[in-house]
Structure 1
Amino acid sequence: MCPTPPLRLRLRRRGVRIAVWSLVTALVVAAGLTGMVLWQNSYDMDEQRVSIRHGGHTLNGVLTTPRDGRKQHGLVVYVHGDGPVDATHDDGYKPMWEANAQAGYASLSWDKPGVAGAPGDWLDQSMDDRADEAAAAIAWARARPDIDGERIGLWGASQAGWVMPKVAAKTPVSFVIAVSPAINWLQQGRYNLLAELRADGASAERTEAEIARSDTIRRLLRRHATFEEYVGAMGGDADGMTAERWGFISKNYTADATRDLRALRGIPVLLTLADHDINVDITDTERVYRRVLDAGGDLTVGRYPDATHSLLKQSIEQSDLRLTFTALFSPRSLFADGFLDDQRQFLEEAT
Structure 2
Amino acid sequence: MRPKIRPTPRRLRTLAWALAVVLVAATALVGVVLWQNTYDMDEQRVSIRHGGRTLHGVLATPRDGSPRHGLVVYVHGDGPVNATHDDGYKPMWEANAKAGYASLSWDKPGVAGAPGNWLDQSMDDRADEAAAAVAWARARPDIDGDRIGLWGASQAGWVLPKIAARTPVSFVIAVSPAINWLRQGRYNLLAELRADGASASRTKAEIAKSDTVRRLLRHHATFEEYVDAMGADTDGMSADRWGFISRNYTADATRDLTALRGVPVLLTLAGHDTNVDTAETERVYRSALDAAGALTVARYPGAAHSSLRQSIERSEIRTTLTALFAPRSLFAHGFLDDQRRFLDGL
TM-score, scaled relative to structure 2: 0.98
Specify the alignment match of 2:258 in structure 1: 262
1:84 is aligned to 80
Q: Show the 5 A alignment for 1:57-206.
A: 57-206=53-202
Q: C-alpha distance in 2, partners of 1:157/1:288?
A: 16
Written as runs of structure 1 = structure 2, the 5 A alignment for 1:1-351 is 8-9=5-6, 11-350=7-346
**Is 1:59–1:118's contact at 8 Å kept on the other side of the alignment?**
yes
| Counterpart secondary structure, 1:74 | strand
Cα distance in 2 for partners of 1:304, 1:36 equals 28
Question: What whole-Å deviation, never above 9, does each CA across 1:253-306 have from its counterpart, x for those lacking one?
Answer: 000000000000011000000010000000000000000101124000000000
Q: Aligned partners of 1:172, 1:264: CA distance in 2, in Å?
A: 10
Within 1, Cα distance between the matches of 2:212 and 2:234? 13
Distance (Å, rounded) in 2 between the aligned partners of 1:220 and 1:256: 19
TM-score normalised by the chain length of structure 1: 0.96
One-letter amino acid of the structure 2 residue matched with residue 22 of structure 1: A
Paired residue type of 1:124? D
- Pairwise CA RMSD of aligned residues? 1.2
Residue identity matched to 2:24: V
* Contact 1:264/1:297 (<8 A) preserved: no
Structure 1, gaps ≥5 residues long: 1-5
Mapped contact 1:112–1:118 kept (Cα < 8 A): yes
Quote the Cα distance in structure 2 between the aligned partners of 1:62 and 1:44. 15
The alpha-carbon deviation at position 7 of structure 1 amounts to 11
Q: Is the 8 A contact 1:126 1:248 kept in 2?
A: yes
- Tell me which amino acid in the other structure corresponds to 1:328: L
* Paired amino acid for 1:263: A
Q: Which residue in the other structure is 1:3 paired with? A: none
CA distance in 2, matches of 1:168, 1:8: 79
Q: Distance in 1 between matches of 2:104 and 2:135?
A: 12
**In structure 2, distance between residues paired with 1:111 and 1:13:** 58
SS at match of 2:270: strand
Q: Secondary structure of the residue that 1:322 maps to in structure 2?
A: helix
Give the conservation status (yes or no) of the 8 Å contact 1:123–1:247.
yes
Letter of the 1:81 partner, please give it: G
In 1: Cα distance, 2:59 partner to 2:225 partner = 43
Query: Identical aligned pairs, as a percentage?
Result: 78
Q: What is the count of residue pairs matched by the alignment?
A: 344
